[in-house]
Amino acid sequence: MKYFTIEELTRSATAERLGIVNTPDVKIIENLTLLTDKLLDPLRELWGGPLRVTSGYRCPALNRAVGGVVNSHHLRGMAADLVTTANTAASHRQLMQRLRESGLRWTQAIMERNRRGATWLHVSYDPASLRGEVLSRMA
Ligand SMILES: [Zn+2]
């Protein structure tokens, strides 16, 4: 863990607003640490500038509240949603490109966009399935 903390990978404005206690257990912390060491930190290093986590671990109540899919890697502490400092679709595409050229391993990398036009890069790391999938979808 170099550039990211467990705190920022579990903090959630939605959880705070709704009074959801989004506290990770030991196994989740282990998964978040692996995600960071294997994927987030090396990607941050390659990117050469700050990356902000907008969503990391989600307990089931939080995942439901944000409309996450039922089998989401966020539930196991294996995924993070990242935005760049510029926070534009173009910079998020660049970040995806950097990842694809990196030689790193990952499970899924998804360019996500919501109805209001906000974009972010969802990345996940499940050591049992490092399939390197690249997708884009409406969230
Ligand atoms: Zn996500």
C-alpha of residue 67 to centroid of ligand 1, in Å: 11
Domain 6-138 listed as CATH 3.90.1300.10: no
**Closest to 122 (Cα-Cα) out of 104, 138, 106, 108:** 108
C-alpha of residue 58 to centroid of ligand 1, in Å: 10
**Closest to 50 (Cα-Cα) out of 2, 100, 114, 101:** 2
63-98 pLDDT tens trace: 999 999 999 999 999 999 999 999 999 999 999 999
C-alpha of residue 79 to centroid of ligand 1, in Å: 6
pLDDT value of position 113: 96
Neighbours of ion ligand 1 (CB under 5 A): 81, 122
Length, in residues, of the chain: 139
Give the chain's residues under pLDDT 70.
Answer: none
Domain ranges of the chain: 6-138
C-alpha of residue 80 to centroid of ligand 1, in Å: 6
